[in-house]
Structure 1
């Protein structure tokens, strides 16, 4: 069997507030179309200097906890040298060093192998850019 590479870019609107946007369903839908019961790897990448990807539990408060923790680590104030955009926007440019813009995940039998409570999420603290892209790539 030869390796197959498939890729797709999805558009995500995050709005005008900080958000943790769940991408898990989009990832699983993509794999249903392209993985065809094969083993491989799913790479998730966002080509933005102010957004990242994480694996966390959603819906039980962890998404709000993540944003609160980022506020503690990266306050939205005037300490940042990068100063265009909203007040404190420089912190958004530091975010990808803490929440990276990529994740590579195992796929077995065409199914994404996440833990029971794990979800794939886009983390976006940049209120100035509500339109994001995420590239999903499967190699299997």
Structure 2
């Protein structure tokens, strides 16, 4: 298995498109297999969505409606409502796996792989890319 860690800054965007980094990582291995994208954080997730047409902002808006920032959470350290950040990975998985053929991730036409991070307390994230040859 081949693996690489990405450092991602989420201070400006709650959703960060990782597709080009994933494509480059898969191309470097130039074979068939599976690529796993994993965020080793308790308050972030990874999703496959359409970006650039408003879906990314719609996802953030929807998650913020589902996970309001208030005092309802038992997990109460950090900024107000930080407990919501710890619920996020229950809704947006911390990993996705995509098939790879000849070094190319087999994503649909409008699909992008994104990091989802609503946590205002930590803007530095790590994303592990792993390639398992088939």
TM-score by length of 2: 0.96
Give yes or no for contact 2:28–2:103 (8 Å, CA) kept in 1.
no
Whole-Å Cα distance in 2 between the matches of residues 26 and 127 of structure 1?
Answer: 24
Deviates more, 1:72-81 or 1:121-130: 72-81
TM-align CA RMSD: 0.9
**TM-score normalized with structure 1 length:** 0.92
1:129 equivalent in structure 2: 122
* Structure 2: segments with no counterpart, 5+ residues: none
Q: Does 2:102 correspond to 1:106?
A: no
1:66 to 59, 66, 84: 59
Q: May I ask how many residue pairs the two structures share in their alignment?
A: 133
Return structure 1 stretches of 4+ with deviation > 4 angstroms.
none
Aligned to 2:33: 40
> What's the secondary structure of 1:71's corresponding residue?
helix
Per-residue deviation, residues 53-92 of structure 1 (Å, max 9, x unmatched): 0000001110100011101111111111111111100000
The answer to whether the Cα contact below 8 Å between 1:18 and 1:126 also exists between their aligned partners in 2 is no
Partner of 1:24: 19
Unaligned residue ranges in structure 1 (runs of 5+) = none
1:12 to 8, 26, 43: 8
